[in-house]
Structure 1
Amino acid sequence: MVSPPVVVAPPVVPPPAAVPPAPPVVAVPPVVAAPVSPPVAVTPPVVPPPPVVTPPVVPPPPAVVVPPPAPVSPPVAVVPPVTPPAPVVPPVVPPSPPVAPAATQAALPATNAQVLAFAQSHIGQIATDPDGTQCYALAEAALRASGAVLQTSLGTNGPISDHYAWGQLVYQKDLTGGYANVGTLASIEPGDIIQFDQYSESSPDGSWAVAAHHTAIVESVNAATGQITVLQQNWNNNQTTQEGVFNLQSMTGGVVSVYQPITG
């Protein structure tokens, strides 16, 4: 069997695209530069200086006189009325027992007064005597200046070989057993000479004193308390004349004798 012939259709070709016409060419005229004028010099205007202005002269203000302040009267003190206090009746105190007054220098024997004055005039100084500058020298020099009998003429007292005698014995207190007790504290006067040997004392307040061998001049005495203030030198490493205090009621050992100077 014979196949029918195949009919071949020709290809379809599209029509060519339309091309727009080219724009017309416009001729551009050449650019010509404008002529440049040269710069013109500008001269600034001349400005005249400002006129000088003289300030006006102002006269000073007139002086103002301030008047002085008016005197002020002092305030008047107002004294309040004094109201007398109500009378106070003191309580009745029984009188104290009479105490023997201490002797005053005005009532002293003349020799005592001279001995006391000599010692007081040497406070802060060292009294000298041909026998030296010890405690002894103050008493001996005072006797010599007052015209009294010297210790060198009176000797010593009792079993202690150098327990010096200085005049009339007026008081003596002994805890050694070798001397008699003589007189009372009221018998002692300023200007008397006091001799300590093997002496010691101890007071309730803790104070104490020891005078193994010492001489002093009585300045004052309190018979009620037993306190005697003396003038002495070469005491407690101080050679000058100075005051000291002993309390014979606190005596714990030794012997103490007090003498009134006697005239020759």
Structure 2
Amino acid sequence: MSFSIMAALLALAAPGGAPVVTEICPASNAPALAELADAGSARQVLAGLLTPDAISPAAGGRFNRGAAEVAARLAPEGAAWRWSVVRSAVSADGGHGFTAGYLDETGADGKAVPFKFLAYWVRTAEGWRIAAFRKAPMPQGVRQDARTAPAPCLRSGVTMRGETVPGDAAAHRASLAAAEQRFSDDAQAMGIGPAFAKHGSALSLNMGRGAGLTLGAEAIGAEIAASNPPPLAWGSDGVLVAPGGDLGLSWGVIRIVGSPDDERGRFAFFTVWHRAGPAEPWRYIAE
């Protein structure tokens, strides 16, 4: 199979086991590819890269949970994947990160389908592993040159580990959950488009509706406002934060305000958040 990852995701196939990802945040954005031609099918490779408790949004406001379920739901049997990473970041302590970009899926029938993807990673004793993964279809007929161009990795310039105190892990999680709640509250008060503009930054990305990723909070807010969404409310059902407190993951369920509380008005989500320092506000950086 041809499961390829840009230099932003250097990987080696471990003999007889799962692939070992050694780097998700390179010093440059050179377009060299690391081949995993002998690692097996996309489903096998993805399962090997996921944490045991990995999540992925599914229909009806639910999540696929666990490596086996996530891989089975997202990687069709016999499919091959080719990944191109165009955005990546690593936390100041080097323990968490994310990648986003494009995924070309070739099915067992030979048909190729383009997707966008977003992955949140945690460093383990076995190397980098994916804690949350999402893929979304791209418009049909998209040309390769219409996609968002690669950019250098974001490395946090603030090392916050030296500023933490015992018990800060719980405080980091609580602060991120509170930021997610403020985001939802503002969406209901000012509209979801303006809320996306307010709670992001110039570094933010959204998987978007077009050929490429949507970059920058202002552009994301404008795109979402133009889609005229119904009133929405959400909150964190779970959070995961890097030990240094500068990068984190929040996940939960978005609900259409005023609609029946069933699968027709519920949508699972996860969002990657970043903050520049312990006294700085959280801003979503990828979702």
TM-score with structure 1 length normalisation? 0.21
Which of the pair has more CA radius of gyration?
1
Q: Between Structure 1 and Structure 2, which shows a larger proportion of helix residues? A: 2
Q: Which structure has the higher relative contact order (CA within 8 Å, separation 6+)? A: 1
Q: Between Structure 1 and Structure 2, which shows a larger proportion of strand residues? A: 2
